[in-house]
Structure 1
Protein backbone atom coordinates (compact mmCIF):
# COMPACT_ATOMS: atom_id res chain seq x y z
CA UNK A 1 0.00 0.00 0.00
CA UNK A 2 2.78 2.43 0.99
CA UNK A 3 4.82 1.60 -2.14
CA UNK A 4 1.77 2.08 -4.35
CA UNK A 5 1.08 5.51 -2.86
CA UNK A 6 4.74 6.56 -3.36
CA UNK A 7 4.62 5.36 -6.97
CA UNK A 8 1.41 7.29 -7.49
CA UNK A 9 2.94 10.49 -6.09
CA UNK A 10 6.04 10.12 -8.28
CA UNK A 11 3.99 9.48 -11.41
CA UNK A 12 1.66 12.40 -10.71
CA UNK A 13 4.70 14.64 -10.27
CA UNK A 14 6.21 13.42 -13.55
CA UNK A 15 2.89 13.85 -15.30
CA UNK A 16 2.55 17.43 -14.05
CA UNK A 17 6.11 18.27 -15.12
CA UNK A 18 5.62 16.72 -18.55
CA UNK A 19 2.27 18.44 -18.95
CA UNK A 20 3.78 21.80 -17.99
CA UNK A 21 6.55 21.32 -20.56
CA UNK A 22 4.03 20.60 -23.30
CA UNK A 23 1.86 23.53 -22.22
CA UNK A 24 4.87 25.89 -22.29
CA UNK A 25 5.76 24.76 -25.79
CA UNK A 26 2.22 25.24 -27.05
CA UNK A 27 2.03 28.67 -25.42
CA UNK A 28 5.24 29.75 -27.15
CA UNK A 29 3.95 28.47 -30.46
CA UNK A 30 6.49 25.68 -30.62
CA UNK A 31 5.33 22.42 -32.17
CA UNK A 32 5.17 19.51 -29.75
CA UNK A 33 7.41 16.58 -30.52
CA UNK A 34 6.01 13.09 -30.84
CA UNK A 35 8.57 11.80 -28.31
CA UNK A 36 7.32 14.23 -25.68
CA UNK A 37 3.72 13.25 -26.37
CA UNK A 38 4.64 9.59 -26.09
CA UNK A 39 6.34 10.25 -22.75
CA UNK A 40 3.22 11.99 -21.49
CA UNK A 41 1.03 9.12 -22.70
CA UNK A 42 3.30 6.55 -21.03
CA UNK A 43 3.17 8.45 -17.75
CA UNK A 44 -0.61 8.68 -18.11
CA UNK A 45 -0.88 4.92 -18.76
CA UNK A 46 1.34 4.21 -15.77
CA UNK A 47 -0.86 6.45 -13.64
CA UNK A 48 -3.94 4.46 -14.67
CA UNK A 49 -2.26 1.17 -13.73
CA UNK A 50 -1.08 2.51 -10.36
CA UNK A 51 -4.54 3.92 -9.59
CA UNK A 52 -6.14 0.56 -10.46
CA UNK A 53 -3.67 -1.23 -8.18
CA UNK A 54 -4.38 1.29 -5.43
CA UNK A 55 -8.14 0.75 -5.78
CA UNK A 56 -7.60 -3.01 -5.59
CA UNK A 57 -5.50 -2.63 -2.43
CA UNK A 58 -8.08 -0.32 -0.86
CA UNK A 59 -10.82 -2.84 -1.65
CA UNK A 60 -8.72 -5.61 -0.10
CA UNK A 61 -8.11 -3.52 3.03
CA UNK A 62 -11.84 -2.78 3.33
CA UNK A 63 -12.58 -6.50 3.10
CA UNK A 64 -10.03 -7.26 5.82
CA UNK A 65 -11.43 -4.48 8.02
CA UNK A 66 -14.95 -5.85 7.61
CA UNK A 67 -13.66 -9.30 8.57
CA UNK A 68 -11.92 -7.88 11.64
CA UNK A 69 -15.04 -5.93 12.56
CA UNK A 70 -17.12 -9.13 12.42
CA UNK A 71 -14.53 -10.99 14.50
CA UNK A 72 -14.57 -8.19 17.08
CA UNK A 73 -18.37 -8.27 17.19
CA UNK A 74 -18.40 -12.05 17.66
CA UNK A 75 -15.72 -11.76 20.36
CA UNK A 76 -17.70 -9.09 22.22
CA UNK A 77 -20.80 -11.29 22.04
CA UNK A 78 -18.81 -14.17 23.55
CA UNK A 79 -17.60 -11.91 26.36
CA UNK A 80 -21.14 -10.62 26.92
CA UNK A 81 -22.55 -14.16 26.97
CA UNK A 82 -20.59 -15.12 30.09
CA UNK A 83 -21.96 -12.19 32.08
CA UNK A 84 -25.42 -13.67 32.55
CA UNK A 85 -26.90 -16.89 33.84
CA UNK A 86 -28.22 -19.65 31.62
CA UNK A 87 -30.98 -22.02 32.69
CA UNK A 88 -31.25 -25.71 31.91
CA UNK A 89 -33.61 -28.63 32.51
CA UNK A 90 -36.64 -26.45 31.83
CA UNK A 91 -39.91 -28.21 32.56
CA UNK A 92 -43.43 -26.82 32.22
CA UNK A 93 -46.36 -28.28 34.16
CA UNK A 94 -50.01 -27.31 33.66
CA UNK A 95 -52.61 -28.18 36.26
CA UNK A 96 -56.34 -27.62 36.94
CA UNK A 97 -57.50 -25.45 39.83
CA UNK A 98 -57.17 -27.11 43.23
CA UNK A 99 -55.71 -30.31 41.78
CA UNK A 100 -52.23 -31.79 41.71
CA UNK A 101 -52.54 -33.90 38.58
CA UNK A 102 -51.28 -32.41 35.34
CA UNK A 103 -53.25 -31.76 32.18
CA UNK A 104 -52.69 -30.70 28.60
CA UNK A 105 -56.29 -29.59 28.10
CA UNK A 106 -56.34 -25.83 27.61
CA UNK A 107 -59.79 -25.27 29.12
CA UNK A 108 -58.77 -27.13 32.31
CA UNK A 109 -55.51 -25.26 33.00
CA UNK A 110 -55.64 -22.73 35.82
CA UNK A 111 -51.94 -22.71 36.70
CA UNK A 112 -48.68 -23.14 34.82
CA UNK A 113 -45.56 -24.01 36.79
CA UNK A 114 -42.13 -23.44 35.25
CA UNK A 115 -39.24 -25.42 36.73
CA UNK A 116 -35.59 -24.97 35.83
CA UNK A 117 -32.01 -24.91 37.12
CA UNK A 118 -29.26 -22.33 36.73
CA UNK A 119 -26.12 -23.58 35.03
CA UNK A 120 -23.09 -22.84 37.27
CA UNK A 121 -21.23 -19.69 36.21
CA UNK A 122 -18.26 -18.63 38.32
CA UNK A 123 -18.07 -15.23 36.60
CA UNK A 124 -21.56 -14.15 37.68
CA UNK A 125 -21.63 -12.98 41.33
CA UNK A 126 -23.80 -14.99 43.69
CA UNK A 127 -26.76 -13.36 45.40
CA UNK A 128 -30.22 -12.08 44.57
CA UNK A 129 -31.33 -12.20 40.95
CA UNK A 130 -34.60 -11.01 39.48
CA UNK A 131 -36.21 -13.70 37.35
CA UNK A 132 -38.99 -12.76 34.94
CA UNK A 133 -41.01 -15.44 33.18
CA UNK A 134 -42.89 -14.52 30.01
CA UNK A 135 -45.54 -16.92 28.72
CA UNK A 136 -46.47 -16.28 25.09
CA UNK A 137 -49.33 -17.72 23.06
CA UNK A 138 -49.10 -18.77 19.41
CA UNK A 139 -49.61 -15.15 18.32
CA UNK A 140 -46.77 -13.84 20.49
CA UNK A 141 -49.09 -12.22 23.02
CA UNK A 142 -48.16 -12.32 26.72
CA UNK A 143 -50.44 -14.72 28.60
CA UNK A 144 -51.72 -13.78 32.07
CA UNK A 145 -49.56 -10.64 32.37
CA UNK A 146 -48.96 -9.19 35.82
CA UNK A 147 -48.86 -5.47 36.59
CA UNK A 148 -45.05 -5.67 36.57
CA UNK A 149 -42.88 -4.87 33.58
CA UNK A 150 -39.17 -5.20 32.93
CA UNK A 151 -36.72 -4.12 30.25
CA UNK A 152 -34.78 -6.88 28.46
CA UNK A 153 -31.12 -6.09 27.86
CA UNK A 154 -31.57 -6.82 24.15
CA UNK A 155 -34.64 -4.58 23.79
CA UNK A 156 -35.52 -0.92 23.96
CA UNK A 157 -38.95 -1.16 25.56
CA UNK A 158 -40.37 -2.53 28.79
CA UNK A 159 -42.44 -5.69 28.39
CA UNK A 160 -44.99 -7.35 30.63
CA UNK A 161 -44.17 -10.61 32.35
CA UNK A 162 -46.38 -13.47 33.48
CA UNK A 163 -44.45 -13.92 36.73
CA UNK A 164 -41.57 -12.35 38.63
CA UNK A 165 -39.49 -13.79 41.43
CA UNK A 166 -36.37 -12.94 43.43
CA UNK A 167 -33.98 -15.90 43.37
CA UNK A 168 -30.87 -16.41 45.48
CA UNK A 169 -28.21 -17.67 43.07
CA UNK A 170 -25.62 -19.84 44.84
CA UNK A 171 -23.50 -21.10 41.91
CA UNK A 172 -24.83 -24.63 42.19
CA UNK A 173 -27.66 -26.51 40.55
CA UNK A 174 -30.89 -25.86 42.43
CA UNK A 175 -34.38 -26.46 41.13
CA UNK A 176 -36.29 -23.19 40.80
CA UNK A 177 -40.08 -23.22 40.62
CA UNK A 178 -42.17 -20.27 39.45
CA UNK A 179 -45.95 -20.40 39.14
CA UNK A 180 -48.24 -18.52 36.76
CA UNK A 181 -51.93 -18.23 37.64
CA UNK A 182 -54.46 -17.91 34.84
CA UNK A 183 -57.55 -15.82 35.66
CA UNK A 184 -58.91 -16.57 32.18
CA UNK A 185 -59.30 -19.81 30.28
CA UNK A 186 -56.47 -20.68 27.94
CA UNK A 187 -57.08 -21.64 24.34
CA UNK A 188 -55.61 -24.64 22.50
CA UNK A 189 -52.34 -24.03 20.69
CA UNK A 190 -48.58 -23.79 21.03
CA UNK A 191 -47.14 -21.75 23.89
CA UNK A 192 -43.63 -20.47 24.50
CA UNK A 193 -41.91 -19.78 27.82
CA UNK A 194 -39.07 -17.26 28.05
CA UNK A 195 -36.99 -16.95 31.22
CA UNK A 196 -35.05 -13.73 31.90
CA UNK A 197 -32.50 -13.16 34.66
CA UNK A 198 -31.73 -9.52 35.47
CA UNK A 199 -32.95 -8.64 31.99
CA UNK A 200 -30.90 -11.26 30.12
CA UNK A 201 -32.65 -14.05 28.24
CA UNK A 202 -31.50 -17.17 30.10
CA UNK A 203 -33.52 -19.82 28.31
CA UNK A 204 -36.76 -20.74 26.59
CA UNK A 205 -39.04 -23.70 26.08
CA UNK A 206 -42.41 -24.46 24.52
CA UNK A 207 -45.41 -26.73 24.97
CA UNK A 208 -48.76 -27.47 23.35
CA UNK A 209 -52.23 -27.45 24.88
CA UNK A 210 -55.12 -29.27 23.27
Structure 2
Protein backbone atom coordinates (compact mmCIF):
# COMPACT_ATOMS: atom_id res chain seq x y z
CA UNK A 1 0.00 0.00 0.00
CA UNK A 2 2.83 2.31 0.89
CA UNK A 3 4.69 1.57 -2.33
CA UNK A 4 1.67 2.36 -4.34
CA UNK A 5 1.39 5.79 -2.73
CA UNK A 6 5.01 6.61 -3.54
CA UNK A 7 4.51 5.51 -7.06
CA UNK A 8 1.51 7.76 -7.38
CA UNK A 9 3.53 10.79 -6.00
CA UNK A 10 6.32 10.27 -8.44
CA UNK A 11 3.90 10.04 -11.27
CA UNK A 12 2.24 13.27 -10.12
CA UNK A 13 5.60 15.29 -10.23
CA UNK A 14 7.59 13.82 -13.07
CA UNK A 15 9.35 17.24 -14.21
CA UNK A 16 10.69 18.45 -10.85
CA UNK A 17 14.30 17.14 -11.18
CA UNK A 18 14.58 18.59 -14.68
CA UNK A 19 13.49 22.03 -13.44
CA UNK A 20 16.22 22.06 -10.77
CA UNK A 21 18.92 21.29 -13.32
CA UNK A 22 17.85 24.15 -15.58
CA UNK A 23 17.92 26.55 -12.69
CA UNK A 24 21.51 25.59 -11.89
CA UNK A 25 22.57 26.05 -15.50
CA UNK A 26 20.92 29.47 -15.63
CA UNK A 27 22.67 30.60 -12.47
CA UNK A 28 26.01 29.38 -13.84
CA UNK A 29 25.47 31.30 -17.07
CA UNK A 30 24.64 34.46 -15.13
CA UNK A 31 27.80 34.11 -13.06
CA UNK A 32 29.92 33.62 -16.16
CA UNK A 33 28.34 36.68 -17.77
CA UNK A 34 29.00 38.73 -14.64
CA UNK A 35 32.63 37.62 -14.55
CA UNK A 36 33.09 38.51 -18.21
CA UNK A 37 31.54 41.92 -17.67
CA UNK A 38 33.80 42.56 -14.68
CA UNK A 39 36.85 41.53 -16.72
CA UNK A 40 35.90 43.84 -19.58
CA UNK A 41 35.28 46.68 -17.14
CA UNK A 42 38.71 46.15 -15.57
CA UNK A 43 40.43 46.12 -18.96
CA UNK A 44 38.63 49.31 -19.98
CA UNK A 45 39.71 51.05 -16.80
CA UNK A 46 43.28 49.82 -17.26
CA UNK A 47 43.42 51.13 -20.83
CA UNK A 48 41.93 54.43 -19.74
CA UNK A 49 44.55 54.70 -16.99
CA UNK A 50 47.33 53.96 -19.44
CA UNK A 51 45.94 56.58 -21.81
CA UNK A 52 45.79 59.17 -19.04
CA UNK A 53 49.35 58.30 -18.03
CA UNK A 54 50.50 58.78 -21.63
CA UNK A 55 48.76 62.14 -21.82
CA UNK A 56 50.30 63.22 -18.52
CA UNK A 57 53.77 62.18 -19.73
CA UNK A 58 53.28 64.14 -22.93
CA UNK A 59 52.24 67.21 -20.94
CA UNK A 60 55.38 66.94 -18.82
CA UNK A 61 57.54 66.63 -21.93
CA UNK A 62 55.92 69.68 -23.53
CA UNK A 63 56.82 71.79 -20.51
CA UNK A 64 60.31 70.28 -20.48
CA UNK A 65 60.78 71.14 -24.16
CA UNK A 66 60.05 74.81 -23.54
CA UNK A 67 62.34 74.86 -20.51
CA UNK A 68 65.22 73.09 -22.24
CA UNK A 69 65.02 75.30 -25.32
CA UNK A 70 64.99 78.46 -23.21
CA UNK A 71 67.90 77.32 -21.02
CA UNK A 72 69.96 76.17 -23.99
CA UNK A 73 69.63 79.48 -25.81
CA UNK A 74 70.32 81.53 -22.68
CA UNK A 75 73.34 79.45 -21.68
CA UNK A 76 74.96 79.87 -25.09
CA UNK A 77 74.01 83.51 -25.72
CA UNK A 78 75.73 84.71 -22.53
CA UNK A 79 79.06 84.33 -24.36
CA UNK A 80 78.11 86.55 -27.30
CA UNK A 81 80.09 89.74 -27.86
CA UNK A 82 83.38 88.53 -26.39
CA UNK A 83 85.15 87.90 -29.66
CA UNK A 84 84.48 87.49 -33.37
CA UNK A 85 85.34 83.79 -33.16
CA UNK A 86 82.82 83.18 -30.39
CA UNK A 87 80.12 85.16 -32.19
CA UNK A 88 80.70 83.13 -35.35
CA UNK A 89 80.46 79.89 -33.37
CA UNK A 90 77.28 81.08 -31.63
CA UNK A 91 75.71 81.96 -34.98
CA UNK A 92 76.37 78.40 -36.12
CA UNK A 93 74.97 77.05 -32.85
CA UNK A 94 71.83 79.17 -33.22
CA UNK A 95 71.18 77.66 -36.64
CA UNK A 96 71.67 74.08 -35.43
CA UNK A 97 69.47 74.62 -32.38
CA UNK A 98 66.76 76.14 -34.59
CA UNK A 99 66.80 72.98 -36.74
CA UNK A 100 66.53 70.81 -33.63
CA UNK A 101 63.70 72.97 -32.31
CA UNK A 102 61.80 72.52 -35.57
CA UNK A 103 62.02 68.74 -35.19
CA UNK A 104 60.80 68.93 -31.59
CA UNK A 105 57.95 71.31 -32.44
CA UNK A 106 56.88 69.00 -35.26
CA UNK A 107 56.56 66.10 -32.82
CA UNK A 108 54.67 68.28 -30.35
CA UNK A 109 52.21 69.48 -32.99
CA UNK A 110 51.60 66.04 -34.51
CA UNK A 111 48.80 65.39 -32.01
CA UNK A 112 49.87 61.79 -31.45
CA UNK A 113 49.74 61.20 -27.71
CA UNK A 114 51.42 57.83 -27.54
CA UNK A 115 54.34 56.26 -25.77
CA UNK A 116 56.23 56.06 -29.08
CA UNK A 117 55.73 59.76 -29.73
CA UNK A 118 56.72 60.50 -26.16
CA UNK A 119 59.91 58.45 -26.51
CA UNK A 120 60.76 60.23 -29.76
CA UNK A 121 60.29 63.58 -28.05
CA UNK A 122 62.62 62.55 -25.25
CA UNK A 123 65.23 61.46 -27.78
CA UNK A 124 65.05 64.86 -29.44
CA UNK A 125 65.54 66.52 -26.05
CA UNK A 126 68.61 64.38 -25.45
CA UNK A 127 69.95 65.39 -28.85
CA UNK A 128 69.31 69.03 -27.95
CA UNK A 129 71.29 68.62 -24.73
CA UNK A 130 74.12 66.87 -26.58
CA UNK A 131 74.16 69.71 -29.12
CA UNK A 132 74.35 72.30 -26.34
CA UNK A 133 77.16 70.41 -24.57
CA UNK A 134 79.09 70.16 -27.84
CA UNK A 135 78.99 73.92 -28.39
CA UNK A 136 79.79 74.65 -24.74
CA UNK A 137 82.91 72.50 -25.07
CA UNK A 138 83.95 74.44 -28.17
CA UNK A 139 83.20 77.76 -26.44
CA UNK A 140 85.31 76.69 -23.46
CA UNK A 141 88.17 75.79 -25.79
CA UNK A 142 88.00 79.14 -27.58
CA UNK A 143 87.84 81.09 -24.31
CA UNK A 144 90.89 79.27 -22.94
CA UNK A 145 92.74 79.83 -26.21
CA UNK A 146 91.86 83.53 -26.14
CA UNK A 147 93.02 83.77 -22.53
CA UNK A 148 96.31 82.14 -23.46
CA UNK A 149 96.78 84.50 -26.39
CA UNK A 150 95.83 87.47 -24.21
CA UNK A 151 98.38 86.40 -21.62
CA UNK A 152 101.03 86.12 -24.32
CA UNK A 153 100.04 89.51 -25.72
CA UNK A 154 100.24 91.04 -22.26
CA UNK A 155 103.70 89.57 -21.79
CA UNK A 156 104.77 90.86 -25.19
CA UNK A 157 103.28 94.27 -24.39
CA UNK A 158 105.23 94.42 -21.13
CA UNK A 159 108.38 93.31 -22.92
CA UNK A 160 107.81 95.84 -25.68
CA UNK A 161 107.13 98.54 -23.11
CA UNK A 162 110.34 97.64 -21.33
CA UNK A 163 112.22 97.71 -24.62
CA UNK A 164 110.69 101.08 -25.48
CA UNK A 165 111.64 102.36 -22.05
CA UNK A 166 115.20 101.13 -22.50
CA UNK A 167 115.31 102.57 -26.01
CA UNK A 168 113.95 105.90 -24.83
CA UNK A 169 116.41 105.89 -21.98
CA UNK A 170 119.28 105.16 -24.35
CA UNK A 171 118.05 107.81 -26.76
CA UNK A 172 117.74 110.29 -23.92
CA UNK A 173 121.23 109.44 -22.75
CA UNK A 174 122.53 109.75 -26.29
CA UNK A 175 120.77 113.08 -26.67
CA UNK A 176 122.30 114.27 -23.43
CA UNK A 177 125.67 112.96 -24.52
CA UNK A 178 125.36 114.71 -27.89
CA UNK A 179 124.41 118.02 -26.31
CA UNK A 180 127.23 120.53 -26.44
CA UNK A 181 128.25 122.14 -23.16
CA UNK A 182 130.05 125.31 -22.20
CA UNK A 183 132.51 125.95 -19.41
CA UNK A 184 134.54 128.73 -17.86
CA UNK A 185 131.86 131.33 -18.56
CA UNK A 186 133.03 134.84 -17.80
CA UNK A 187 130.73 137.90 -17.99
CA UNK A 188 132.43 141.30 -17.92
CA UNK A 189 130.51 144.60 -17.86
CA UNK A 190 132.68 147.35 -19.36
CA UNK A 191 132.89 151.10 -19.71
CA UNK A 192 134.98 153.20 -22.02
CA UNK A 193 137.65 155.44 -20.61
CA UNK A 194 137.25 159.10 -21.26
CA UNK A 195 140.81 159.27 -22.49
CA UNK A 196 141.68 156.91 -25.28
CA UNK A 197 138.27 155.18 -25.37
CA UNK A 198 139.66 151.88 -24.12
CA UNK A 199 137.08 149.55 -22.54
CA UNK A 200 137.68 148.58 -18.92
CA UNK A 201 135.64 146.54 -16.41
CA UNK A 202 133.01 148.26 -14.29
CA UNK A 203 130.37 147.34 -11.73
CA UNK A 204 128.24 150.44 -12.20
CA UNK A 205 125.09 150.16 -14.29
CA UNK A 206 125.06 153.75 -15.55
CA UNK A 207 128.64 153.46 -16.78
CA UNK A 208 128.18 150.08 -18.50
CA UNK A 209 128.25 150.41 -22.27
CA UNK A 210 129.39 146.94 -23.22
CA UNK A 211 129.14 143.43 -21.77
CA UNK A 212 131.33 140.55 -22.94
CA UNK A 213 130.33 136.94 -22.26
CA UNK A 214 133.19 134.57 -22.99
CA UNK A 215 133.20 130.79 -22.59
CA UNK A 216 134.56 127.53 -23.94
CA UNK A 217 132.41 125.19 -26.04
CA UNK A 218 133.61 121.83 -24.75
CA UNK A 219 134.91 118.92 -26.78
CA UNK A 220 132.31 116.27 -27.61
CA UNK A 221 133.22 113.10 -29.49
CA UNK A 222 129.61 111.96 -30.10
CA UNK A 223 128.06 115.31 -31.04
CA UNK A 224 127.31 115.94 -34.69
CA UNK A 225 129.69 118.14 -36.58
CA UNK A 226 128.71 121.26 -38.47
CA UNK A 227 127.12 124.64 -37.85
CA UNK A 228 125.78 125.27 -34.35
CA UNK A 229 123.73 128.32 -33.36
CA UNK A 230 125.14 129.85 -30.17
CA UNK A 231 122.73 132.31 -28.52
CA UNK A 232 123.37 134.66 -25.60
CA UNK A 233 120.60 136.23 -23.55
CA UNK A 234 121.36 138.95 -21.00
CA UNK A 235 118.15 139.54 -19.06
CA UNK A 236 117.61 142.91 -17.35
CA UNK A 237 116.05 143.22 -13.87
CA UNK A 238 112.66 143.90 -15.50
CA UNK A 239 112.79 140.48 -17.24
CA UNK A 240 113.42 141.84 -20.72
CA UNK A 241 116.48 140.76 -22.71
CA UNK A 242 119.13 143.33 -23.56
CA UNK A 243 118.99 143.93 -27.30
CA UNK A 244 122.28 145.09 -28.70
CA UNK A 245 123.59 145.67 -32.18
CA UNK A 246 124.08 141.93 -32.81
CA UNK A 247 120.70 140.78 -31.52
CA UNK A 248 118.70 138.05 -33.22
CA UNK A 249 116.15 135.32 -32.48
CA UNK A 250 116.12 131.56 -31.95
CA UNK A 251 113.58 128.84 -31.14
CA UNK A 252 113.60 127.36 -27.65
CA UNK A 253 113.53 123.56 -28.12
CA UNK A 254 111.87 123.02 -24.73
CA UNK A 255 108.69 124.97 -25.49
CA UNK A 256 108.92 125.76 -29.21
CA UNK A 257 108.70 129.51 -28.61
CA UNK A 258 110.70 132.04 -30.56
CA UNK A 259 112.95 134.04 -28.24
CA UNK A 260 114.95 137.24 -28.58
CA UNK A 261 118.69 136.83 -28.24
CA UNK A 262 121.09 139.49 -27.05
CA UNK A 263 123.56 138.03 -29.53
CA UNK A 264 123.68 135.08 -31.96
CA UNK A 265 126.70 133.38 -33.47
CA UNK A 266 126.99 130.61 -36.07
CA UNK A 267 129.76 128.28 -34.88
CA UNK A 268 131.36 125.77 -37.25
CA UNK A 269 131.85 123.00 -34.73
CA UNK A 270 134.42 120.26 -35.40
CA UNK A 271 134.15 118.29 -32.15
CA UNK A 272 137.05 119.97 -30.37
CA UNK A 273 136.99 122.62 -27.61
CA UNK A 274 136.43 126.09 -29.01
CA UNK A 275 136.68 129.52 -27.33
CA UNK A 276 133.95 132.03 -28.04
CA UNK A 277 132.93 135.52 -26.91
CA UNK A 278 129.54 137.16 -27.52
CA UNK A 279 129.01 140.86 -26.83
CA UNK A 280 126.24 143.27 -26.00
CA UNK A 281 126.97 146.89 -26.77
CA UNK A 282 124.72 149.95 -26.65
CA UNK A 283 125.67 153.48 -25.79
CA UNK A 284 122.26 155.01 -26.46
CA UNK A 285 120.83 154.57 -22.96
CA UNK A 286 122.26 153.60 -19.59
CA UNK A 287 121.45 150.34 -17.83
CA UNK A 288 119.54 150.25 -14.56
CA UNK A 289 121.05 148.88 -11.36
CA UNK A 290 120.02 145.37 -10.32
CA UNK A 291 120.52 141.69 -10.96
CA UNK A 292 121.03 140.56 -14.56
CA UNK A 293 120.54 137.04 -15.83
CA UNK A 294 122.93 135.24 -18.16
CA UNK A 295 121.66 132.44 -20.44
CA UNK A 296 123.60 130.53 -23.08
CA UNK A 297 121.75 128.40 -25.67
CA UNK A 298 123.19 126.02 -28.26
CA UNK A 299 120.79 125.15 -31.09
CA UNK A 300 117.93 126.37 -28.89
CA UNK A 301 118.82 124.21 -25.87
CA UNK A 302 119.67 125.98 -22.63
CA UNK A 303 123.15 124.88 -21.54
CA UNK A 304 124.15 127.54 -18.99
CA UNK A 305 122.54 130.02 -16.59
CA UNK A 306 124.10 132.50 -14.20
CA UNK A 307 123.71 136.08 -13.02
CA UNK A 308 125.64 139.21 -12.11
CA UNK A 309 124.78 142.47 -10.39
CA UNK A 310 125.28 146.04 -11.50
CA UNK A 311 125.29 148.80 -8.93
Q: TM-score, normalised by structure 1?
A: 0.65
Is the Cα contact below 8 Å between 2:230 and 2:296 reproduced in 1?
Answer: no
Q: TM-score, normalised by structure 2?
A: 0.48
Q: 1:92 matched to which residue of 2?
A: 187
Question: Equivalences for 1:14-163 in 2 at 5 Å?
Answer: 20-29=95-104, 30-31=124-125, 32-80=127-175, 85-96=180-191, 98=193, 100-103=200-203, 109-122=208-221, 124-125=224-225, 130-137=229-236, 141-144=240-243, 146=245, 148-152=247-251, 154=253, 156=256, 158-163=258-263
Cα 1:38/1:168, change in 2 over 3 Å: closer
For this pair of structures, how many residues does the alignment match? 199
Q: Deviations over 1:82-131 (max 9, x none)?
A: 6664322222233455463342x6566443321211212346447x7553
Indicate the structure whose relative CO is greater, using CA pairs within 8 Å and at least 6 residues apart.
Answer: 1
1: distance between equivalents of 2:263 and 2:232?
Answer: 5
Is the Cα contact below 8 Å between 1:146 and 1:161 reproduced in 2?
Answer: no
2: distance between equivalents of 1:92 and 1:45?
Answer: 76
Give 5+ residue unaligned stretches, structure 1: 1-7
1: distance between equivalents of 2:259 and 2:189?
Answer: 23
1:185 corresponds to 2:287: yes
RMSD: 4.0
Give 5+ residue unaligned stretches, structure 2: 1-82, 105-123, 194-198
State which structure, 1 or 2, has the greater radius of gyration over its C-alpha atoms: 2
What displacement does 1:178 show?
1.9
